[in-house]
Amino acid sequence: MPTPSFRKTGVISLEELSTLNLLPPESRLKKGPVAVLECPEMIPCNICVPYCPTKAIKMEKLIDLPMVDWNKCTGCSVCVAVCPGLAAFVVDLSKEDGDYVTVPHEFLPAPKVGDEVTLLSRTGEKLGRGTVTRVWERNKTYVVTVKVPKGLGMEVRAIWVEK
Ligand code: SF4
Ligand code: SF4
């Protein structure tokens, strides 16, 4: 079996996430906020499992990939706050006025609701501008929801807050 490209580049693609069953189906994505755990390596971590308030994340063994029951996931974003690998996101593609993406953010300055921020892809490429709509914090990790242009919800995975 060929080495997956994320092992060489450190950046996972949507195709690879789909192959690993880490992407919600289109039908669920259209219903409202849902977690996307971009966690493709068999590492000894399961912190998201006990923290999920609806028990939507399952792992048989510590090194398994985290499998989300998309119907149990409410998009609460607790997994975004607790994931030490900054690999958990919540996307909401159900709105008409734009897509909404919730990302972990561990840089200062702290984002504030209403801030206009630069949107970044998985590779750090600039994708445009978005507006912060929600911020909460846990143990110095900011959990930031941004409204992004329609169509970018599965591409934006970080933000840059200019000073
Ligand atoms: S968003 Fe909330 S409900 Fe969904 S998997 Fe994460 S912690 Fe569980
Ligand atoms: S907490 Fe993050 S790194 Fe750990 S299993 Fe869950 S998604 Fe993967």
CA-CA distance, 101 to 133, in Å (whole number)? 10
Which residue of 68, 79, 82 sits with most ligand 1 atoms within 8 Å of its CB, as the best mutation to test the pocket?
79
Mean pLDDT (whole number) for 103-112: 95
37 lines ligand 2 (CB under 6 A): yes
Given pLDDT bands bounded at 50, 70 and 90, which one contains residue 6? confident
Q: Which string of DSSP letters, residue by residue, matches the chain?
A: -PPPHHHHHS---HHHHHHTT-S--HHHHTTS-EEEE---S--S--THHHH-TT--EE-SSTTSPPEE-TTT-----HHHHH-TTS-EEEEE---SS-EEEEEEE--SSPP-TT-EEEEE-TTS-EEEEEEEEEEEEETTEEEEEEEE-TT-TTT--EEE---
| Whether the CB of 54 sits within 6 Å of ligand 1 | yes
pLDDT digits (tens, 9 = 90+) for 57-74: 999 999 999 999 999 999
Ligand 2 centroid vs 157 CA: distance in angstroms?
A: 16
Percent of the chain with pLDDT over 90: 91
Mean pLDDT of 30-47: 96
Q: Decide: 81 in ligand 2 pocket, CB within 6 A.
A: no
Nearest to 144 by CA among 47, 115, 122, 128: 115
Question: Using a 6 Å cutoff on CB, does residue 39 contact ligand 2?
Answer: yes
pLDDT band at 1 (very low <50, low <70, confident <90, very high): low
Question: pLDDT tens, 13-24?
Answer: 999 999 999 999
Q: Is the CB of 56 under 6 A from ligand 1?
A: yes
pLDDT, the chain, mean: 95
For the chain, give every domain's residue range. Answer: 5-160
- Rounded CA-CA distance 158/103 in Å is 6
For ligand 2, atom 3, which residue shows the shortest CA distance?
Answer: 85
CA 8 to centroid of ligand 2, rounded, Å:
20
Chain position carrying tokens 């999920």: 52
Decide if 67 contacts 73 (C-beta within 8 A).
no
